[in-house]
Amino acid sequence: MKDALTSRYGEQRVSESFGQLTVDVEPGSWLDLLGYARDELGCAFFDWLTGVDDPPEGFSVVAHVFNPDTREHLLLRTAVPLADPRLASAVGVFRGADWHERETFEMFGVIFEGHPHLVPLLLPDGFEGHPLRKDFVLAARVAKAWPGAKEPGESDHGSPSRRKTLPPGVPADWGRDA
C-alpha cells in the first residue's frame, strides 16, 4: 500500500508512524485520494472523519479508512485555511461520511461543499459558534473560574500540605517516634 501511495502522491506526502500510514494532500486532491483509497487500495470501510484545529493556519480534516481484506489502516489528511474553511464533501465517495461531516461542520465550522444536508447535528437550535475551535470561549469559564486556578502572585507557600495535617481527633504525637 505504501509503495502505491508514494508513487501516486509523492514520498513527501506519505508517512508512517507506529505502523500507521498517513497521506497528506492539498484540498483539491481530497476526493481523488478518497476514491483512490477505496477503489485501488481496497479501503472500502469508512471509519471516521473529523477536524483538528491547528492555529494559526486553519484546520486539518482527517479521515480513517480500512481495508477489510488485508486489515490495513490508512489515515487521510488535508488542510483548510481558517479564513475560508471549505472542502469538497466525501459523501459521494463514502456515504458514511454524512454525519461525520455534519459534526465537523457544527463543531469546527468547516463547510463541506456538495454535502446533501449540511445542517447542525448535535447542538441545540440557535447555538452560536463552533465549540471545538481553540478560540471558542466557554461561557462556564467566564462565569466561574477554573478549579485550582491561581491568580498572578498566588502560591502555596505558607499553607500546610496534606502530609503534615493529621485527621481530626488524632493526637499530635501519634505515630511518631519519641
Return the domain boundaries, the chain.
2-143
Integer angstrom CA distances of residue 44 from 53, 69, 70, 169: 27, 9, 11, 67
* 152 confidence band (pLDDT: 50, 70, 90): low
pLDDT at 102: 98
**Helix, strand or coil for residue 133?**
coil
Which among 131, 6, 73, 145 has a CA at the least distance from the CA of 62?
Answer: 73
With vertex at residue 53, the alpha carbon angle to CA 49 and CA 57, rounded to the nearest 5 degrees, is 120
Percent of the chain whose pLDDT exceeds 70: 79
The residue with greater pLDDT, 55 or 102, is: 102
Bridge partner list, 78: 25, 61
User: CATH classification of 2-143 is 3.40.50.720, yes or no?
Assistant: no
How far apart CA 105 and CA 116 sit, in angstroms, is: 13
pLDDT at 18: 87
pLDDT at 142: 58
- The pLDDT tens digits for 112-137 are 999 999 999 999 998 999 999 998 87
Q: Which residues contact 102 (CB under 8 A, 6 or more apart)?
A: 115, 117, 118, 119, 120, 121
